Each structure stands twice: as structure tokens, then as C-alpha cells.
Amino acid sequence: MTTKQLETHMYTTHIDIPETTRSKVIQLLNVSLAASHDVWSQVKQAHWNVKGKDFYQLHLLFDEVATVVYEQIDELAERITTLGGTANGTTRQAAANSILPEYPNTEKMSEEDHINAVVERLALYGKHLREAIAKTAEWDEANTSDLYTGLSRDIDKKLWFVEAHVQRHR
């Protein structure tokens, strides 16, 4: 997993995690924060712009997915600040530091195009979360690993809901 290096100012804390570990975890969490903010905005883009015979169902589904991701933004930011870091959570910071590709131009996108774009982004974000579980476990930071596990479980479920619209039997 490639993580972008963000400036990390550390506050003192009585949490008994070594500063070097906290610094690595905070940097990883900030990458995740950028990705979560970006995936949220891209799913909202699909929500606003989807058109077609299944508009209403997809409009509601994309909004439900966005709501779950939006809650993750706050969880990630609060873990960063709990560990003594600074959450880099502005829209500009998210755009500059996200691991996700830009959402396609929505002009004339079909329902299936929107579904595929959302699936791709949820899958990439989910992969990032699973890699973060492994990294934080390797760093012996169980609480953050547990946080990532919950986030990953939620994203996998939403990916299933969206992906089911384009899956076919083999």
C-alpha cells in the first residue's frame, strides 16, 4: 500500500503507544481520511447524477452508501486526534491525498456506468482498509486495527449491495 507522506504534528498524550508508532498510524489514518472523504463525494456524485429506469432505487442506494462512508470520515478523524495527531480533513486535502481515481465525467453516463464507477471506488477503498488492518496489526496497534476492521466490514457490505446490480451468474 502506498501512503502519501503528510505533515504530522503530534500533541502529547497519556496514551501508552510509542510516539513512533502513533506517528505511523496517524499518517496512515490521514490517508484513509482522504480516501473516505473522496469516496463519499464520488458516491454523492453518482447519487446526484444517475438517470434511467432504476433511478429511484439507485439514487436511494447511493445515498445509503454515502451515509455509511460519511460516518467513517468522523471515526477516522477522531482516531487521529485521539492519538495526538491533526486530522487533515478538508476537501482540498482529501483531493490532494486520496488514493482513488477521479470520478468519470458524468455527462451521458448510464446507470451501469455509475454502478461500475462506484463499485471500482468502493473496492479500492475496501482494499486500502484491509491493508490498513494488516499494517496496524503489524505495528501492534490493536485499537486502530479494530477500527479498520469495522470500517472494512461496512464497506464490503455496501460494495455487495451495489455490485449485485451488475453481477451475473457464471
What is the block-wise mean pLDDT of the chain (170 residues), using blocks of 10 residues? 56 92 97 98 98 97 98 98 96 95 93 97 98 98 98 98 89
pLDDT value, residue 169 = 74
pLDDT value, residue 45 = 97
pLDDT value, residue 8 = 61
Question: Which own/partner pairs from 18-23 qualify as long-range (CB within 8 Å, at least 24 positions apart)?
Answer: 21/139, 21/140, 21/141, 22/83, 22/84, 22/85, 23/85
Angle in degrees, 0-180, between the axes of helices 55-82 and 19-49, rounded to the nearest 10: 160
pLDDT value, residue 7 = 56
Closest CA to 106 of 34, 35, 47: 47
Q: State the CATH class of domain 19-163.
A: mainly alpha
Alpha-carbon gap, residue 26 to 114, rounded angstroms:
32
pLDDT value, residue 38 = 98
Please say whether the dihedral angle defined by the alpha carbons of residues 121, 127, 170 and 58, taken in this order, is positive or negative. Answer: negative
pLDDT value, residue 3 = 43
- Output Rg (C-alpha) for the chain, integer angstroms: 17
pLDDT value, residue 2 = 45
What b/e sequence results for 47-62 when a residue is b if at least 16 CB atoms lie within 10 Å of its CB, and e otherwise?
beebeeeeeeebbebb
pLDDT value, residue 106 = 82
